[in-house]
Amino acid sequence: MGLAWHLVGLPVFSAGIAALELDGVLIGQWLLSRPLVVGPLTGWLLGDLAAGAALGALIELFCLEELPVGSIVPPNGAVAAACAVLLAAGPALVSPAAALPAGLALGAAHGWLESRVRSWRAVLTAEAAAELAGTGAVSWGPLWRRSVGMHWVVTAGFVYLSTALAGVGLGSLWAALPDAVRAGFERVWGLAPLLALGSLAQRLWR
C-alpha cells in the first residue's frame, strides 16, 4: 500500500463516508447511509463495483433491522459496508471472505464508540440548559455544528484508523493461515448470501 493512499486516498474516503453516515441519525435520513448505497458507491469509486455491491447487499441484509432506538446503538451498517469494501477493493486487496466479517466487526465496534459519543454530547445539553436559564434563549446553530462535527470527526477517524490497521493486519494474518482454514473462510463466503437471507427471514418472522 502506497504512502499516497494513506495520506490522501484513505483520508478522503474516510471523510466522505463519515459525511454519508451522518444521514443515519443526524442529518436528512434520506437512506444514503444504508449499506446498499455505501457499499456500491465505495466500490465504484475504487474501481470494483461488483465487490462493493456484493458486500453492501450482504451487510444490508445482516443489518436491516438494526436501528438506533433510544439508548440502544446497534452495529453501524454504513461503517461496516465502507470498511469491508475499502479492505476488499482498496490497495490492501483483502479477500472478501475476510473483509466481510472484518467489516461487520468494525461496524459493531463503531456502534460501541457511538454510544460513548452520545454520552459526550450530553455536555452540550447542559450548556443549552445553562444558556436558556441565563439569557432565555439558546444559540442552536453553534451547538448543532459542534454536535454534528464531533460525530463526523469520530467516524472519519474510526474509518481511517480501523481500515489502515486492518488492511495491514488482515493481509499478514490471511497469508499466515493454513490452506484449510482459508478454504473454510472462502466456503463461508460462498454461503454468505444464504446466511444473510436466513438472517433476514428470521427477523421478518419475528
Q: So what's the pLDDT on residue 69?
A: 58
Q: How confident is the model at residue 176 (pLDDT cuts 50, 70, 90)?
A: confident
Considering the chain, what is the average pLDDT of its residues?
87
Q: So what's the pLDDT on residue 14?
A: 97
Residue type, 93: L
46 has pLDDT over 60: yes
Percent of the chain with pLDDT over 70: 91
Q: So what's the pLDDT on residue 197?
A: 76
Work out the average pLDDT over 88-111.
Answer: 93
Q: So what's the pLDDT on residue 16?
A: 96
3-class DSSP state for residue 95? coil
Whole-prediction pTM value? Answer: 0.87
Task: Round to whole Å and give the CA distance between 176 and 113.
Answer: 30
Beta-bridge partner residues of 69 = 72
Task: Round to whole Å and give the CA distance between 76 and 61.
Answer: 13
Name the phi and psi angles at 76, rounded to 5.
-90, 110
Work out the average pLDDT over 50-64.
Answer: 90
In the chain, what are the domain boundaries? Answer: 3-205
Residue type, 13: F
Q: So what's the pLDDT on residue 1?
A: 61
What digits encode the pLDDT tens for the residues 104-158? 999 999 988 988 888 887 788 888 888 888 888 888 888 888 888 899 999 999 9
188 has pLDDT over 90: no
Residue 175: Cβ-neighbour burial (10 angstroms; 0-12, 13-18, 19+): exposed
Q: Which three cell numbers stand for residue 173?
A: 494474518
